[in-house]
Structure 1
C-alpha cells in the first residue's frame, strides 16, 4: 500500500514539474513576444515619426481616402503582382541561360572586329567615305536622277564589257598602246598609206572597222 502511494506521489510530482516547465516556457515565449512587440513598436514609431517629418518638410499632404483607394487597388491586383513576379523570375532564368551565349557572341564579335581592323577594313571604309563625299559634292541632284534613269543601260554596258571576248580585246588594245612609242610616231605619206592599206592585216582591220560600223548602224535603226 505504501509503495503504491509513493509511486502515485512520484508520478504526481513529475506531472507537476511538466506543467511548471510548460508554464515557464509559455512565460518565456510571452515575454519574448512582448519584447518583440515593444521593439517593433519603437521601430514603427521611429519610422512613422521620420516619415511624417519628411512629408512635412516636403509639404506632402496625404489624403486618407486616396490611401484607402490605393490599398484597395493593391489588394485587387495581387494576382497581377504575382504574375508580374513570375514573369520577372522567368526573365531572370532566361538571362541566366542566355548570358553565357551572349558572352560568346560578344567575344566572337570583338575578335571579328579586331580582325577587320587588322586587315584594314575600317581604314578602307574611311577612305571610301571620302570618295563618296567628293562624288556628292561634285554631282548634283539632276545628275543622280539621270543616273537612276539610265542605270539599266549602264549595267548592261558593264555586263557586256565584262564578257571574256570583250575583256580580251580590251587587254590586247591596252597592251598594244602601252608598247607603242607615242613620242616617236612615224609620218605617213599618202602613197605610203595606200601601200599599207593593201597589206593583209590592214585589210582585215578595215573589214573589222566597217563591220563594226554597219552593225552599230543596224542596232541604232532597231532602237529608233
Structure 2
C-alpha cells in the first residue's frame, strides 16, 4: 500500500512538472514571438524612416531631428489635453446624433406649417402687405416720415379720442345719416321754408350744437396759441 501511495505522489509530481514545463515553453514561445515582432517592426520602422527621409530629401524638405523630438515631447506632454479633445469630439458627435432627428422633425413641422399658412392664405396676405409698404414708400418721402414721427403723439391722441364709445356712436350716426341721403334728389329749400324749418326743435338743437361747437373750437385754438 505504501508503494502505491508513493507512486501516486510521484505521478502527481510528474504531472505538475510537466505542466510547469509546458508553461515555461509557452512563455518562451510567447517571448520569442514578441522578440520576432519587435525585430520585424524595428526593421519596418527603419525602412519607413529611411524611405521618408529619402522622399523628404527629394522634395527639398529639410528634416530636423531636434524639431521632431520636440514635437514628440509636446505630444507626450499634452496627452491629457488630446484625450480631453477626443472626449469633446465624441460628445459633439453624440450630440449631433441626438439632435439630428429633432432637427429633422422640426424641419418637417415647419414645412407643414408653411403649407398650412399657404392654404389659409396667410402668405398671400403678407405679400399684399409688402405691396402696401411699397406703395407707402413710393407715395411718401423721408420728410413725410419725419413729420409723422414728430406728430405721432398728436395723431395717437386724436385716435384715442375718436375711438371713445360716444365718439364712435356719433361718427356711426353721421355716416348712417349721410348714407341714407339721396344725393341725386336733395329737396330744395326757399328762404321762407328754411326759416320755418329753423323753428323746429331739431333745427334749434342742431344750431345750438353748431354754435357751441364753434365757440369751444375757438377757445381751444386760443389756449393752444397761449401755450405756444
Give the TM-score taking structure 1 as reference length. 0.77
Query: 1:148-178: per-residue Cα shift (whole Å, max 9, x none)?
Result: 0000001111111111111111111111111
Query: 1:77-133: per-residue Cα shift (whole Å, max 9, x none)?
Result: 333334434545555666677677666655655554444333322221111011101
The answer to whether the aligner puts 1:189 opposite 2:166 as a matched pair is no
CA distance in structure 2 between the aligned counterparts of 1:195 and 1:8, rounded to whole angstroms: 153
* Segment of structure 1 superposing worse, 105-114 or 26-35: 105-114
CA displacement at 1:4 relative to structure 2: 7.5
* Partner residue, 2:170: 169
* Partner residue, 1:21: 22
CA distance in structure 1 between the aligned counterparts of 2:87 and 2:10, rounded to whole angstroms: 62
Contact 2:117 2:123 in 1 (8 A): yes
What are structure 1's unaligned runs of at least 5 residues?
none
Secondary structure at the aligned position of 2:186 is classed as coil
The answer to whether the aligner puts 1:80 opposite 2:81 as a matched pair is yes
CA distance in structure 2 between the aligned counterparts of 1:213 and 1:148, rounded to whole angstroms: 30
Closer, same or farther: CA 48–180 of 1 in aligned 2, 3 Å = farther
Task: Please list, as runs of the form range in 1=range in 2, the aligned pairs for 1:122-201 lying within 5 A after superposition.
Answer: 122-201=123-202
CA displacement at 1:204 relative to structure 2: 0.9
* Segment of structure 1 superposing worse, 195-204 or 116-125: 116-125
* Segment of structure 1 superposing worse, 118-127 or 12-21: 12-21
Closer, same or farther: CA 75–26 of 1 in aligned 2, 3 Å = closer
CA displacement at 1:37 relative to structure 2: 3.7
Closer, same or farther: CA 217–89 of 1 in aligned 2, 3 Å = same
Secondary structure at the aligned position of 1:21 is classed as helix
The answer to whether the aligner puts 1:223 opposite 2:221 as a matched pair is no
User: How many residues are paired up?
Assistant: 224
Secondary structure at the aligned position of 2:133 is classed as helix
Over the aligned positions, Cα root-mean-square deviation in angstroms equals 3.5
Secondary structure at the aligned position of 1:150 is classed as helix
CA distance in structure 2 between the aligned counterparts of 1:150 and 1:63, rounded to whole angstroms: 77
* Segment of structure 1 superposing worse, 8-17 or 194-203: 8-17
CA distance in structure 1 between the aligned counterparts of 2:160 and 2:38, rounded to whole angstroms: 91
Task: Please list, as runs of the form range in 1=range in 2, the aligned pairs for 1:58-69 lying within 5 A after superposition.
Answer: 60-69=61-70
Closer, same or farther: CA 30–176 of 1 in aligned 2, 3 Å = same
CA distance in structure 1 between the aligned counterparts of 2:56 and 2:188, rounded to whole angstroms: 107
The answer to whether the aligner puts 1:214 opposite 2:215 as a matched pair is yes
CA distance in structure 1 between the aligned counterparts of 2:22 and 2:194, rounded to whole angstroms: 139
What are structure 2's unaligned runs of at least 5 residues?
none
Query: 1:9-40: per-residue Cα shift (whole Å, max 9, x none)?
Result: 53553344224312331243234424544664
Give the TM-score taking structure 2 as reference length. 0.76
